[in-house]
Structure 1
Amino acid sequence: MSTSTTVVVLGLTSVVLYYGLRRTRSEPAQSAPYPPGPKGLPIIGNVLDMPKNGQDWLTYAVWGREYKSGIVGVKLLGQPIVIINDGDILSEFDRVSHLYSDRPPMQMAGNLVGYAKTLVLMPYSPTFRSFRKHFARIMGSPAQLKQYLPMAEQKAKAFVRRMLAHPTELEPQLRTLAGSIILNIAYGITVEERDDRFVTMIERILAEGFNNAAVAGKFLVDVMPALKFVPEWLPGAGFQTLARKWRNDFNDMVNVPYQFATQLIADGVAPVSFVSTSLELDDSTAEIENIKHCAASMYGAGADTTVSTEHAFFLAMLLNQDVQKTAQAEIDSVTGGERLPTYADREHLPYVHALVTELLRWHNVAPLGVPHRAMEDGVVHGHFIPKGSIIVANLWQMLHNPEVYPDPLVFDPTRFIASPGKEVQRDPRHACFGFGRRICPGMHLAEASVYAVVAMSLAVFDILPVMKDGKPIIPQHSNTDGTISHQPHFPYVLRARSEKAVTVVQRETADL
């Protein structure tokens, strides 16, 4: 072992001992028992118990069953981590959300890369509340959503038209669709229908940077913040090289579309957008920084999650042909096959609405959400939650709990349709968009976008499996690791239901 490597190892060992002993000695007096969980070892706690093979939510669900508790606790080097596996307990946290709305200081994603300047990782603070007000002004309620519905429907129609022309390009076209809506609202940018430079750039940055950097426990610097001062050239400091690259990418994501938007304003051709409206209200230097990072937050919070849900919809239909046919029949009964369905048809399409609801339950775009942090000592569900605890909501388990959703892996919209002697199951919206004051601020727009894609795609296409040697290739539903989870690529066939459907699309998109 080289001298420099020995120094690094000894230094890291010292830091581990320091943090473990300091936290152990400073534990507060408890008014209730800490949540049950794996016993752990002295000083390092449960470091060796933590999941190592991905899909952490499955391990956390097993712990819940093993310890017969909807809330589980572990400690990493003295850092308390509380895992919520039960929707009712999540509601208890919700009722005292003012105590649990902070974010843990994620050194890698938040401070070293820069995402602490965006809404998703920003500490609970006056700046955070200012950002939430910006979001609320733009898209915070169903009433405000109405102004964007015509645009969102036009974008969905254009998506269907592109899929008729390029039926094998589902994933890139879904990204173009989601990006076109968010970039229009945030910056007034009209994207190219294929290979748009803004969509390509931002999607790459989020996939490479945020989705990896923000995974709780992935980087040791998140547990031992002192490591952020380690220089990049030292052996074992490869995380600093990643942080520098991702930080440069993050700055591009913030600045490049903003600069394009301000150039449109300077040229006098800017459409109304979040950036243009906000700059009219306040163009001071300090507020410009807030506007830039708030606009970047809109894309980061809305586009990737929406794409994940919409991509999973096509898999769900491929795997559940009976559900697809039932939904198509309902749409045809309303439109007569003479037009594409719109958001105004939603109240007349209860099965399609239930299908969207089941989609939100069946495929979790953020199986563990983004961690919260306790700002004060508290007691929830009879368990002590120390100040500074990291709170992880196992949304996947809540929405796949067989006691709440029988046969949870089955895609079944009738869960949410009442019938004689049968009550509807719990609405997944209690968990799928997060909780407390950190609940997704763009959830109304996201769901409206998903509804438009679902309804219009079902009206126009049959979504079928690929055939090989006379047999269908049946993909498996799964979740990738990362903060935002996707269904991995799967083979499919997209076929127009009829020539009439093609004609309807051509007529309704002629001016787009």
Structure 2
Amino acid sequence: MTVSSFPLAQLTAFVLAVLLAYRFAKTRRHAPFPPGPQGWPIIGNVLDIPTEYQWKTFAKWGEKWGDIMSVNVLGQRMVIINSARVAVELLDRKSSIYSDRPHMVMIGEIVGWTRIVSLHNYGPRFRETRRLLSQMLGSRDKVAWLAPLLEAEEHRFLLHVLKDPDSLVAQVRKAAGAIILMLAYGYEVKDGEDPYVAIVEKAMSEVSAAATPAAFLVDFFPILRYFPPWLPGGGWKKNIPEYTKDLDAMCDIPYQFVKQHMAVGSFIPNFTSRLLEDNLSAEREQLVKDAASSFYAGGSDTTVSTITGFFLAMMCYPDVQKRAQAEIDTVIGSDRLPVLADRGRLPYLHALCLELLRWNPVAPLAIPHVLAQDDVYAGYYLPKGTTVMANVWKLLHEPETYANPFNFDPSRFISSGKRTAEQDPRSYAYGFGRRICPGMYLADATVFLAVAMSLAVFDIRKPVIDGVEVHPNMEFTSGVISHPPPFKCSIVPRSAKAEALVISTEMKA
């Protein structure tokens, strides 16, 4: 009997039977998925995942489902790691297969943020971009060569805060931007509102909001990108032109600044100029441009969050502030500001910087990894294409690792008597495996200098309004990058000598 003469109903039943048998056999071949909450048919756990503070929900789920768990989001398997041990075993030790990035239709394909190294797919372009960045930032010794620049910018930061303490957050952003724009492009940030800083900050705020897990259905149903915006649910498209324009501005405008100044020989040597000294192909030039953009995108917003969080912590934990200041006074004295080379002689200050990273991690869920091939771990099946998220917030608040994890206590990182220092949070806060932050040493040095110099000259207190001390909100924001909430802060010179020390930096400049 030919296929054409075979009854259609019987043919259909036969095909379905074969497909079901194949699916059953495939399922039988593999171990089960990691456990997790029971989802709904078709949509899975979409309704279970909150739109804010997902890391807290995932941590709570982990109490029931364990250190490695999974959810189903519209057919896409997502694994959540709530344990440092599991994160290291998978993302570090198996980094060769756990280093890809999710297929992000909205911010990746449509807006174009995959040109930034942190969102590159794992492959030759990613590795070459990392190599270029590593030439300037790849070790503590390399960053130590940048100490004069970092210290000069933090000096300026102190002066700006002294003149206008109410603009603290703006000054933190400006100082972080000034360091990276100088290193990446040889650009000197202007007094007042700088146009380049404004360009980059706008683009970064947009991607932080747009990259939130499950923020856009188009990431799960790519066909939605072709639907007209006037259809119900199409409102997400209205921001695409602005997002794309702002990303292009962030990448193109500082890059053209370098090229224009190189053409007339009036540039400050920098990351981009060094790579443009040779004649480059169009493809290579695009890679250099994107690498320079990655410089800023990868570090500015995270550093801003940590340093702003420092000021919030100091006014809420005055005993910590006093102990750190006493150490500075004893080791450094009051005749100069701390410098990067002093860090080894300031153990409590070093511990304070570590506690800032642990207390409220700036990237609570990091950026998701994607599995490049099937894997089996602890008896669980993890198929190729699985999104894997390390709950960094949970790792840094694990009571078995950190005693009283919700207390702000820098001394946890100092060995004394029978007490052993707790786990260095940098092991988790900067990411894992081949996706670890390429600018981690720069960020580490920048935070230390901002903290050390600020404590050397300022007292940071809760504000008093109408005779009443104001207690700030301590709930950091949600999003890919978590920031302190808006707060008011009293920042005053510790003494006339401290004030003169800050002002002396203006005279030297």
1:25 deviates by 8.8
The answer as to 2:418 corresponding to 1:421 is yes
Q: Which amino acid aligns with 1:501?
A: A
Residue 146 of structure 2 corresponds to which residue in structure 1? 148
Kindly state the Cα deviation for residue 372 of structure 1 after the two structures are TM-superposed.
0.8
Indicate the SS of the match to 2:277. helix
Paired residue for 1:39? 38
Conserved in 2, the CA contact under 8 Å of 1:92 and 1:381? Answer: no
Distance in 2, Cα, partners of 1:28 & 1:260: 56
Query: After the TM superposition, which segments of 4 or more aligned residues of structure 1 sit over 4 Å from their partners?
Result: 24-30
Partner of 2:311: 314
What is the root-mean-square deviation in Å for CA atoms of aligned residues? 1.6
Whether the 8 Å contact between 2:159 and 2:505 is mirrored in structure 1 is: no
Cα deviation 1:223-251 (Å, max 9, x = unaligned):
11222222344443222222222111111
Q: 1:351: which partner in 2?
A: 348
Gaps of 5+ in 2: 1-19
User: What's the secondary structure of 1:81's corresponding residue?
Assistant: strand
Conserved 8 A contact 2:144-2:340: no
How many angstroms apart in 1 are the aligned matches of 2:232 and 2:189? 43
Normalising to structure 2: TM-score of the pair? 0.93
Residue equivalent to 1:11: none
User: Is 1:510 the counterpart of 2:497 in the alignment?
Assistant: no
User: 1:249 and 2:240 equivalent?
Assistant: no
Segments of structure 1 that go 5 or more residues without pairing to the other structure are 1-20
**How far, CA to CA, are the matches of 1:353 and 1:217 in structure 2?**
37
Partner residue, 1:189: 187
Structure 2 residue matching 1:120: 3-state secondary structure: helix
Corresponding residue number in structure 1 for 2:372: 375
Work out whether residues 176 and 193 of structure 1, in 8 Å CA contact, stay in contact via their aligned partners in 2: no
Partner of 1:204: 202
Instruction: Give the letter for the 2:141 counterpart.
Output: A
Distance (Å, rounded) in 2 between the aligned partners of 1:372 and 1:256: 31
Q: Could you tell me which residue of structure 2 aligns to residue 394 of structure 1? A: 391
CA distance in 2, matches of 1:356, 1:338: 23
Number of the residue aligned with 1:298: 295
Aligned to 2:94: 96
Aligned 1:420-459 pairs, distance under 5 A: 420-459=417-456
Give yes or no for contact 1:465–1:493 (8 Å, CA) kept in 2: yes
Equivalenced residue count is: 487
Q: Which of 360, 364, 374 is the aligned partner of 2:361?
A: 364
Distance of aligned partners of 1:259 and 1:28 in 2 relative to their CA distance in 1, 3 Å threshold? farther
User: CA offset at residue 147 of structure 1?
Assistant: 2.0
**2:230 & 2:294 partners in 1: Cα distance?**
32
- The 1-side partners of 2:437 and 2:233 are apart by 36
Cα deviations by residue, 1:75-122 (Å, 9 ceiling, x for unpaired): 112210000111111110110011110001111111111001111111
State the Cα deviation string for residues 44-97 of structure 1 (Å, max 9, x = none): 221222224x10111100100022x11110111221000011111111011001
1:277 corresponds to which residue? 274
Fraction of identical pairs, as percent = 44
Which one has the largest radius of gyration?
Answer: 2
Give the drift of 1:282. 4.4
Q: Which moved more, 1:469-478 or 1:176-185?
A: 469-478
Letter paired with 2:317:
N
Q: CA deviation at 1:485?
A: 1.0
Structure 1 residue 383: deviation in Å? 2.4
CA offset digits 1:381-435 (Å, max 9, x no partner): 4422111001111101110112221221111001000011111111111110111
SS of equivalent residue, structure 2 residue 429 = coil
Q: Which residue of 2 aligns with 1:173?
A: 171
Partner AA of 1:238 in structure 2: G
Match of 1:265 among 262, 281, 302: 262
Equivalent position of 1:111 in the other structure: 109
Task: Give the conservation status (yes or no) of the 8 Å contact 2:202–2:246.
Answer: no
SS at match of 1:48: coil
Aligned with 1:406: secondary structure?
coil
**Hey, what's the Cα distance between the residues in 2 that align with 1:51 and 1:476?**
22
Provide TM-score, normalisation by structure 1: 0.92
| Separation in 1, partners of 2:388, 2:127 | 20
Q: Counterpart of 1:36 in structure 2: which amino acid?
A: P
Residue type at the aligned position of 1:188: G
The answer on whether the counterparts of 2:203 and 2:243 sit within 8 Å (CA) in structure 1 is: yes
Instruction: Tell me if the contact between 1:176 and 1:194 (Cα under 8 Å) persists in the aligned partners.
Output: no
CA distance in 2, matches of 1:50, 1:397: 16
Please give the secondary structure, in 1, of the residue aligned with 2:69.
strand
Partner of 1:6: none
2:472 maps to 475
